[in-house]
């Protein structure tokens, strides 16, 4: 054994210093070590990717309730378990995300940065969960889900579909914007959409979405009873230059743009368009003056005062289309063709009862609702 080794072996054992009592059974409190968090080195991948969805749900629950105790109850966790999840978040992002306050817990500046991204991830995961659930849900026995744009033609779809399919038909889902209709189909929220578009603004189906035109119908013009052109049978769109168009608010401006474009082509140098709620539209039309409103070819049940006229050449028009996804669900080409045929027949049968100008289709062929054997536009 070397001398150095012998000295180490014979060295006395170092004992821990004896604690000094300040009073009976009292020990001086230890000073808490400062709290630190790991910080990602410059140029390295951030550790935020180590967070899991459960951590983000804990974050959102605390923000929503304003309290760790309430959030724990909402998530069906114990308060210590939730606190551990929060500490995990803080360890990953490198700082506190909540601070205690008299009212509970509130976000720190770092938490404010984290929250919107956490919510975006959660929304994406919820969408994914719905898509997966929809994929695994058995199609047999599920009701047919229909999306529609707000048009009188949409009122016919539910009855037509109920008579054709063997199972139930769910309540209509209103999807006035093209982007919403296509997204709902892609997500699997609806099985079929009866949508409408306009010349120059046709809907473009995305990947996996099929489209079948039903037909095109004219849009008429309604004038107050005291309007100078009210006595005419047919009106040229150019004659309405300088009028104020009253259009019902429907959540989409595609028709408004189509109307403006057609008026521009008719030589209108200026055009005043006012979007109003349907009840206000009725009041303004009853008041009279130099106003005009666009009218669907079929009545919707809301009585608009005034005189309805057709526009020469029908430059303002609406095309109705069926949209669906061929993914082995409830909708296939055969059902689409049967629906389209039944919808055209129902439209034609409704004209004598709710058509704005019922005899218009006798004089004009090739439109939705024209005599059988005439091609729809």
DSSP for 312-334? TT--SEEEEEEEEE-SSSS--HH
- Mean model confidence pLDDT for the chain: 82
Asked if the model's pLDDT at residue 31 lies above 60, the reply is no
Task: Identify whether the C-beta of residue 226 lies closer than 8 Å to the C-beta of residue 272.
Answer: no
pLDDT at 352: 92
Asked if the model's pLDDT at residue 173 lies above 70, the reply is yes
Task: Identify whether the C-beta of residue 324 lies closer than 8 Å to the C-beta of residue 210.
Answer: yes
Nearest of 287, 298, 306, 292 to residue 246 by alpha carbon: 292
Confidence of residue 223 (pLDDT cuts 50, 70, 90): very high
Beta-bridge partner residues of 99: 106
String of b and e for 90-114 (b: at least 16 CB within 10 Å)? bebbebbbbeeeeeebebeebbeeb
Beta-bridge partner residues of 308: 222
| Least confident window among 74-83, 138-147, 315-324, 351-360 | 138-147
Q: How crowded is the C-beta side of 215, counted as CA atoms within 13 Å?
A: 26
Task: Identify whether the C-beta of residue 266 lies closer than 8 Å to the C-beta of residue 236.
Answer: yes
Asked if the model's pLDDT at residue 317 lies above 50, the reply is yes
Asked if the model's pLDDT at residue 37 lies above 70, the reply is no
Rounded average pLDDT over 365-369 = 92
Q: Write out pLDDT tens, residues 116-148.
A: 988 898 888 888 887 767 655 545 567 889 999
pLDDT at 5: 45
Taking CA 29 as the corner, what is the angle to CA 23 and CA 35, rounded to the nearest 5 degrees? 175
Task: Identify whether the C-beta of residue 148 lies closer than 8 Å to the C-beta of residue 194.
Answer: yes
d(CA 51, CA 37): 15
Rounded average pLDDT over 223-231 = 92
Asked if the model's pLDDT at residue 15 lies above 50, the reply is no
pLDDT at 211: 94
Asked if the model's pLDDT at residue 316 lies above 90, the reply is yes
d(CA 155, CA 302): 13
pLDDT at 46: 52
pLDDT at 377: 58
Give 377 or 115, the one with higher predicted confidence.
115
pLDDT at 48: 64
Asked if the model's pLDDT at residue 21 lies above 80, the reply is no
Nearest of 361, 300, 339, 299 to residue 214 by alpha carbon: 339
Asked if the model's pLDDT at residue 44 lies above 50, the reply is no
Rounded average pLDDT over 313-328 = 89
Nearest of 254, 324, 328 to residue 294 by alpha carbon: 254
Nearest of 143, 156, 151 to residue 174 by alpha carbon: 151
Rounded average pLDDT over 230-239 = 91
pLDDT at 201: 87
CA distances, 168 to each of 142, 146, 171, 353 (Å): 7, 11, 10, 28
Confidence of residue 207 (pLDDT cuts 50, 70, 90): confident
| Least confident window among 41-55, 89-103, 206-220 | 41-55
Q: Write out pLDDT tens, residues 69-80.
A: 888 888 888 989
Confidence of residue 336 (pLDDT cuts 50, 70, 90): very high
């Amino acid at each position: 054994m070397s001398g150095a080794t012998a000295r180490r072996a014979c060295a006395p054992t170092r004992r821990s210093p004896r604690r000094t009592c300040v009073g009976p059974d009292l020990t001086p409190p230890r000073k808490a070590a400062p709290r630190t968090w790991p910080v990602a080195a410059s140029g390295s991948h951030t550790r935020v990717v180590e967070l899991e969805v459960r951590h983000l749900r804990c974050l959102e629950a605390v923000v929503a309730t304003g309290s760790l105790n309430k959030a724990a109850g909402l998530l069906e966790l114990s308060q210590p378990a939730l606190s551990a999840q929060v500490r995990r978040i803080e360890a990953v992002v490198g700082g506190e995300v909540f601070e205690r306050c008299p009212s509970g817990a509130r976000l720190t500046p770092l938490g404010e940065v984290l929250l919107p991204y956490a919510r975006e991830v959660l929304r994406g995961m919820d969408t994914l969960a719905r898509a997966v659930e929809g994929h695994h849900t058995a199609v047999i026995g599920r009701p047919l889900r229909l999306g529609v744009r707000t048009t009188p033609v949409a009122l016919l779809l539910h009855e037509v579909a109920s008579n054709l399919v063997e199972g139930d038909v769910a309540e209509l889902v209103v999807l006035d914007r093209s982007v919403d209709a296509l997204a709902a189909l892609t997500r699997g929220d609806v099985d079929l959409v009866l949508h409408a578009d306009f010349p120059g603004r046709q809907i473009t189906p995305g990947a996996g979405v099929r489209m079948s035109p039903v037909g095109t119908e004219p849009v008429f013009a309604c004038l107050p009873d005291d309007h100078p052109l009210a006595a005419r049978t047919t009106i040229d769109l150019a004659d309405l230059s300088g009028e104020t168009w009253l259009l019902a608010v429907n959540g989409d401006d595609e028709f408004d743009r189509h109307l403006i474009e057609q008026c521009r082509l008719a030589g209108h140098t200026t055009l005043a368009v006012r979007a109003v709620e349907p009840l206000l539209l009725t009041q303004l039309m009853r008041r009279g003056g130099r106003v005009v409103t666009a009218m669907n070819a079929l009545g919707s049940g809301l009585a608009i005062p005034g005189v309805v006229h057709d526009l020469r050449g029908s430059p303002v028009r609406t095309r109705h289309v069926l949209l669906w996804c061929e993914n082995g669900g409830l909708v296939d080409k055969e059902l689409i063709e049967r629906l389209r045929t039944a919808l055209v027949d129902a439209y034609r049968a409704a004209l004598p009862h709710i058509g704005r100008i019922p005899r218009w289709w006798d004089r004009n062929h090739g439109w939705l609702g024209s005599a059988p054997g005439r091609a729809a536009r």
